């Protein structure tokens, strides 16, 4: 009787758990100087990946003009405040990214931001990104300044979180590390002592420039309902073996709970 009660409690807990997902895609920015992107296929691929994870419910989607800095951060903040232990969190961003080494925006960022906000951290560009010198610092979403505090809360609450930033310079966009490792010969980095999250699996398209659509296609082809983290890394390594765009995969565990079925 006791074993049956425990089993029922476990099943009940699983049924009560919720899934949260945010898909952000930006093909055209408000400022016309920012190059346009082709992201329609990426959106479908990330939806398909959620299906493979047997996502419950409907993901939140912000596309183009809806994908403002305020709305993106508001959703992440609200999710971080209400997510519970058995819930799952997914986030996919496809658009432009930048950091202090970017030849287009790097010098402006270094001139207008304190060093702690541009050194060794990545940034993603929301729809309302403004590249003008006096506005650029406030309009970007910075890993260390804007995302880390919410991702920390999610990471401490649930063991199941999966974040993908399909953007240039996305190596550090989720976290803001303070130390560089030598990645030049690696496609995948999973041994990073500066990675701050215990449970979040983070995948970034590249440490520098990236080709739009490459990461989403690889992930969609490598992830199935029975994929393990080890098999995902092996598949990605195989498909990216000859690619100049070096994906970054970060996790504290070799068997993170987000892949538990």
For residue 168, the model assigns a pLDDT of 72
pLDDT band at residue 193 under the 50/70/90 scheme: low
pLDDT band at residue 1 under the 50/70/90 scheme: low
Residue 207 has pLDDT above 90, yes or no: no
Residue 179 has pLDDT above 70, yes or no: no
For residue 245, the model assigns a pLDDT of 67
The torsion of the CA quartet 167, 168, 173, 177, rounded to 10 degrees, works out to 150
Average pLDDT for 152-175: 80
Spatial separation of the C-alpha atoms in residues 81 and 221, rounded to whole Å:
33
| Residue whose C-alpha is closest to residue 175's, from 142, 135, 148, 201 | 148
What class, spelled out in words, does domain 20-259 have in CATH? alpha beta
Q: Tokens for 178, please give them.
A: 């303070």
| Residue whose C-alpha is closest to residue 240's, from 260, 261, 210 | 210
**What are the strands of the beta sheet with 160-166, ordered from one edge?**
60-63, 19-25, 88-94, 160-166, 200-204, 248-250
Average pLDDT for 107-131: 89
Q: Which residues contact 63 (CB under 8 A, 6 or more apart)?
A: 24, 25, 26, 27, 43
Average pLDDT for 195-203: 91
Given a contact cutoff of 8 angstroms between Cβ atoms, the answer to whether 174 and 143 are in contact is yes
Please write down the HEC assignment for all residues of 102-171: CCCCHHHHHHHCCHHHHCCCCEECCCCCCCCCCCHHHHCEEHHHHHHHHHHHHHHHCCEEEEEEECCCHH
Average pLDDT for 204-209: 65
For residue 156, the model assigns a pLDDT of 97
Residue 175 has pLDDT above 50, yes or no: no
Residue for token pair 């538990």 = 260
For residue 6, the model assigns a pLDDT of 44
Spatial separation of the C-alpha atoms in residues 143 and 169, rounded to whole Å:
11
What is the total residue count of the chain?
Answer: 261
Look at 115-119, 160-164, 176-180, 215-219 and tell me which has the smallest mean pLDDT.
176-180
Q: Which residues contact 261 (CB under 8 A, 6 or more apart)?
A: 54, 225, 226
Segments making up each domain of the chain, as ranges: 20-259
Spatial separation of the C-alpha atoms in residues 239 and 158, rounded to whole Å:
31
pLDDT band at residue 170 under the 50/70/90 scheme: low
pLDDT band at residue 104 under the 50/70/90 scheme: confident
Residue 54 has pLDDT above 80, yes or no: yes
């Amino acid at each position: 009787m006791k074993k049956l009660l425990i089993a029922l409690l476990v099943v009940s807990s699983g049924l009560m758990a919720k899934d949260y997902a945010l898909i952000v895609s930006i093909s055209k920015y408000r400022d016309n100087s920012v190059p346009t992107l082709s992201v329609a296929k990426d959106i479908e691929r990330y939806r398909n990946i959620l299906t493979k994870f047997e996502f419950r419910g409907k993901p939140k989607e912000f596309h183009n003009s809806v994908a403002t800095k305020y709305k993106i951060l508001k959703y992440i903040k609200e999710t971080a405040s209400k997510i519970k232990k058995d819930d799952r969190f997914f986030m996919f961003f496809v658009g432009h990214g930048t950091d202090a080494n970017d030849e287009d925006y790097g010098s402006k960022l270094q001139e207008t931001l304190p060093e702690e906000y541009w050194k060794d951290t990545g940034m993603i560009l929301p729809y309302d990104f403004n590249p003008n010198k006096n506005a650029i610092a406030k309009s970007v979403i910075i890993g260390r300044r804007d995302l880390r505090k919410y991702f920390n809360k999610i990471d401490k609450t649930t063991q199941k979180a999966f974040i993908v930033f399909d953007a240039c310079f996305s190596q550090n966009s989720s976290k803001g590390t303070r130390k560089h490792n030598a990645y030049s010969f690696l496609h995948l980095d999973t041994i990073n002592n500066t990675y701050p999250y215990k449970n979040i699996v983070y995948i970034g398209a590249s440490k520098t420039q990236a080709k739009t659509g490459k990461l989403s296609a690889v992930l969609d082809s490598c992830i199935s309902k029975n994929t393990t983290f080890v098999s995902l890394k092996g598949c990605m390594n195989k498909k990216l073996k000859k690619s100049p765009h070096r994906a970054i995969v970060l996790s504290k565990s070799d068997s993170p709970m987000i892949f538990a079925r």
